[in-house]
Amino acid sequence: MEKQSLLFSLRCDCPSGGCIKVRDYYNHTKLSVNYTPQIYLPNDTQWEESNPWWTERHQVMSEYRPDLADALFISGLGWQRFIPVEYQQKSPIPIIYLIQGLFKLRPEYPHYQHFSYKAIRISVSQAITETLQQKNIRINGPLFTIPNCIDTQVLPKLLQFVDRDIELLILGLKQPQKAEELTRRLIPYCKGNLVTVTTRLPQKEFHSLINRARHTLFLPAEEEGFYLPALEGMALGTIVICPDVGGNRDFCRVNNNCFLPVYHIESLYHATIQALTLVKFQRDRLLTNAQHTAKEHDLTRERSIFLDILDNLKNIW
């Protein structure tokens, strides 16, 4: 039996965790018995190594042809960018929409208006699903919750804690001003071994830095649908300090596997000092629990749930 096509479409001008997660679903589909994936990115996409689709660039379709696909996969503003108007109210083929952001559930954002369009929706966190329910947001079509997972196979070999050469890593791409202030205040506690990042890095370099860090202070947006880097930090054996941004409550457990301060400079500062001054048994407990959390979010779990949806796509639709 010939496989049907699932066409993935997205814009990836500013590569992010959202782009990486769509790529994961693209790779899941490669293992489907019923569907084969296709990928379209606009022709003006900037191709450089930091783009999560860099290794797939030769497989990207040069022309967008939803009319030739058997099903569509979108995220973000995909309704506006890639779905033909005539498909929005009544699509002749299944549409899968990946909900990745908490802010997208607010009426002032265009994403909110698209809940009236029929789709099979996948929420990447329980936090998003619960917010949809609490706000009584009516959606057109079924909703599945598949918590984000990570591919530990692409991560570097874990360095032992004592062999790491960075005392504190501050990842401030989304919050450069906060990163600058916290760097100034925290450097006296780090024996000179403090590294601050406020520019985008290729994924391998990003993971390598976390693997070298004993402690990592993550500075995400103030509201996130999940926030993959903190979970990757747990898998990579760094002490995770990450403020509460909503979606990371799915896996960030305060004083169990990480530090989870409120998102305020003073709270971030004091939580980081506390992390830097942990005694060994406290540190080891956090790191062990974090490893367990990362294993609970192995990518094979996400893949299995999604492939089950694909196997039943026509019945679900």
State the DSSP string of 77-127: THHHHHS-HHHHHS-SS-EEEEE--SGGGSTTSHHHHGGGS--EEEESSHH
Predicted pLDDT of residue 50:
73
CA distance 198 to 173: 4
- Write the Ramachandran bin of 300: left for phi over 0, alpha for psi from -120 to 50, otherwise beta: alpha
Fold equal for 4-149+298-316 and 152-296: yes
DSSP string for 136-169: T---SS-EEE----B-GGGSPPPPPGGG--EEEE
> What is the fold of 152-296?
Rossmann fold (3.40.50)
Predicted pLDDT of residue 136:
84
Radius of gyration of the chain (CA): 20
Contact indicator for 230, 79 with CB cutoff of 8 Å: no
Contact indicator for 294, 152 with CB cutoff of 8 Å: yes
**Lookup result for tokens 């058997």:** 70
Predicted pLDDT of residue 15:
63
Contact indicator for 41, 59 with CB cutoff of 8 Å: no
Predicted pLDDT of residue 14:
67
CB atoms inside a 10 Å sphere around CB 228: 25
**E-assigned strand segments in the chain:** 4-9, 35-40, 71-75, 95-99, 120-123, 143-145, 166-171, 194-197, 213-218, 239-241
Give mean pLDDT in consecutive 10-residue pieces for the chain, a chain of 317 residues: 92 78 95 95 82 84 92 93 88 95 82 89 96 88 96 94 97 97 96 92 92 98 95 98 96 96 98 97 97 96 96 92
pLDDT in tens, 238-285: 999 999 999 999 999 999 999 999 999 999 999 999 999 999 999 999
Q: Which two tokens stand for residue 124?
A: 């990447």
pTM: 0.92
pLDDT in tens, 27-73: 999 999 999 999 999 888 888 777 888 888 888 898 999 999 999 99
CA distance 229 to 150: 10
Helix-helix angle 17-29:228-235, to 10 degrees: 70
CA distance 223 to 226: 9
CA distances from 200 to 27, 40, 63, 66, 246 (A): 23, 23, 29, 32, 23
- What would you measure as the largest C-alpha separation in the chain, in angstroms? 65
The domain ranges of the chain are 4-149+298-316, 152-296
CA distance 195 to 11: 31
Q: Which CATH number fits domain 4-149+298-316: 3.40.50.1110, 3.40.720.10, 3.40.50.720, 3.40.50.2000?
A: 3.40.50.2000
CA distance 301 to 1: 27
Predicted pLDDT of residue 108:
80
Sign of CA dihedral 213, 216, 221, 227: positive
